[in-house]
Amino acid sequence: MHKNQVSVAYGVNIDTFANVITSITTEPICAILVLASAYTTNHITSKCFILYALVFLINFAVSFWRYIQRKQSIVDWSQHTVLLTGGSHGIGLCLLQRLIERQACVAVLDILDIPIDVPKSVKLYKCNLAELDQVHNTLDIISKDMGDITILINNAGTLSPRLLSEMSAADIDRVMNVNLLAPMHITRRLLPAMLDKAHAHLVFVASMLSFIPVPQLSTYTASKAGVALFYESVKLELKHRLKKDNVKTTAAFPSMVESGMFGGMEIDRVISPVVSPELIANNIFAHLDGGYSGDLYLPFCAKLGPLYMLLPEPGRRLAHWCAGSLDSMRLFAGYKPPNGKKGVECLG
């Protein structure tokens, strides 16, 4: 699958229209034709055509600027050691497969077994991210076994799909520890060594729900909102306070992913199409391979997520009604780990 191709569960959706509009506004021949037509039409139509041409020029300028910013040497994976949390299925497994293709040296933190054969360069460290003491002990072992980590992928995630009134204190602690506190502690532990490397990269797999609350997912959305703001703060610290351009940062904000974590969740597929874990992994690796920073909102609807909190209350209610998200978790089934094991699920 091409890295920019969105895999959806159903045919026509909001991304279909977004892709058509993007293709039209970024096609050079269209801009030339409309400029030529501007001189053969009436005054109002002429202004519309010129406006279209300006949109094309702006799109072209932005694309060219991004190309210049990203024009760097391809990452030499033989010089990197990667720490991946949650590599047993979903997005994490797709990321692991791509790391194996690049013959990277990888430490995987997961409570579940890896369901594929892996080379000797990949080592699984059984670790329950909900237990922070266990996380720190495991990091000590990894440091002795593999040395300094240069690429960190905070991918693991879990949820407690209950109404808040039905949750236990343990449910809240588990979700917050796995989704938010563990990434914070792991990043804090590994970042000092990264600062002195020629190249390093921090990756966070967040969620579109970092911006949009959903009933029965209060702890999940709160934890992912925390991840989004933690990522933004670290990014600002690296750029403006530490002046460390060698440490790149990437965050992914996907909508529902085809991997089973949100199995049974009912939501409008036209407005919020389901994406494949391969799509997320491919886009993350575009950043990793190219050695550049950036945010990934996949699919198109995820780009609208940050706008949610800017809406007045009636607008928020309308957004939930259009997406069908108020009752989307009633039939939730979720991801079922192999052999009935319970543990930390990989996001998506």
Asked whether the predicted pLDDT for residue 98 surpasses 60, the reply is yes
| 46 and 101 inside one domain | no
| 86 and 63 inside one domain | no
Contacts of 203 (CB under 8 A, 6+ apart): 151, 152, 153, 154, 155, 249, 250, 251, 252, 284, 287, 288
Residue range(s) defining the domain that contains residue 311: 75-340
Which amino acid is present at 248? K
End-to-end CA distance of the chain: 18
Q: Return phi, psi of residue 53, to 5°.
A: -60, -35
Residue 321 CA: distances (Å) to CA of 6, 204, 217, 337: 24, 29, 17, 32
Mean pLDDT of 215-240: 97
What is residue 334's three-state secondary structure?
A: coil
How does pLDDT run across 176-187, given as a tens digit for each residue? 999 999 999 999
Mean pLDDT of 32-61: 61
Say if 266 falls within a structural domain. yes
Q: What percent of the chain lies above the pLDDT cut of 70?
A: 70
Q: Which residue would you say has higher pLDDT here, 24 or 347?
A: 24
Mean pLDDT of 185-213: 97
327, 333, 335, 339 alpha-carbon torsion, rounded to 10° = 170
Domain harbouring 187, CATH code: 3.40.50.720
Predicted local confidence at residue 20, as pLDDT: 60
Asked whether the predicted pLDDT for residue 78 surpasses 70, the reply is yes
Predicted local confidence at residue 302, as pLDDT: 85
What is residue 289's three-state secondary structure?
A: helix
Asked whether the predicted pLDDT for residue 110 surpasses 80, the reply is yes
Contacts of 3 (CB under 8 A, 6+ apart): 279, 282, 283, 285, 286
Residues forming beta bridges with residue 152, ordered by sequence position: 83, 202
Say if 211 falls within a structural domain. yes
| 168 and 241 inside one domain | yes
pTM of the model: 0.81
Say if 317 falls within a structural domain. yes
Q: Distance between CA atoms of 344 and 85, rounded to whole angstroms?
A: 10
Say if 5 falls within a structural domain. no
Nearest to 304 by CA among 319, 314, 290, 293: 319
Residues forming beta bridges with residue 202, ordered by sequence position: 152, 249
Mean pLDDT of 155-179: 96
| 94 and 40 inside one domain | no
Asked whether the predicted pLDDT for residue 36 surpasses 80, the reply is no
Say if 348 falls within a structural domain. no
* Domains contained in the chain, number: 2
Say if 3 falls within a structural domain. no
Predicted local confidence at residue 41, as pLDDT: 56
| 222 and 145 inside one domain | yes
Predicted local confidence at residue 128, as pLDDT: 98
What is residue 346's three-state secondary structure?
A: strand
What is residue 203's three-state secondary structure?
A: strand
Mean pLDDT of 214-232: 96
| Domain boundary pick from 39, 69, 99 | 69
Predicted local confidence at residue 343, as pLDDT: 40
Q: What is the DSSP string of 222-255?
A: HHHHHHHHHHHHHHHIIIIIS--TTEEEEEEEE-
Q: If you average pLDDT over each of 18-27, 79-88, 273-282, 305-314, which comes out highest?
A: 79-88
| Domain boundary pick from 69, 93, 115 | 69
Predicted local confidence at residue 304, as pLDDT: 86
Q: Which residue would you say has higher pLDDT here, 315 or 15?
A: 315
| 79 and 53 inside one domain | no
Residue 106 CA: distances (Å) to CA of 88, 116, 123, 337: 13, 14, 6, 22
Mean pLDDT of 291-318: 91
Asked whether the predicted pLDDT for residue 173 surpasses 70, the reply is yes
Say if 131 falls within a structural domain. yes
Predicted local confidence at residue 335, as pLDDT: 55
Confidence label for 34 from pLDDT (cuts 50, 70 and 90): low
Predicted local confidence at residue 55, as pLDDT: 66
Q: What is the DSSP string of 112-148?
A: SPPSS---TTEEEEE--TT-HHHHHHHHHHHHHHH--
Q: For residue 299, is the peptide bond before it cis, meaning its omega torsion is within 30 degrees of 0? A: yes
Asked whether the predicted pLDDT for residue 74 surpasses 90, the reply is no
Retrieve residue 132's tokens. 């922070």
Cα 101–chain centre separation: 21
Nearest to 152 by CA among 177, 178, 188, 122: 188
| 262 and 127 inside one domain | yes
58, 62, 63, 68 alpha-carbon torsion, rounded to 10° = 140
Average pLDDT, the chain: 83
| Domain boundary pick from 52, 69, 86 | 69
| 177 and 283 inside one domain | yes
Q: Distance between CA atoms of 124 and 144, rounded to whole angstroms?
A: 15
Say if 280 falls within a structural domain. yes
Predicted local confidence at residue 254, as pLDDT: 93
Confidence label for 345 from pLDDT (cuts 50, 70 and 90): very low
Asked whether the predicted pLDDT for residue 115 surpasses 60, the reply is yes
| 48 and 114 inside one domain | no
| 92 and 197 inside one domain | yes
| 161 and 86 inside one domain | yes
| 44 and 183 inside one domain | no
Mean pLDDT of 264-279: 74
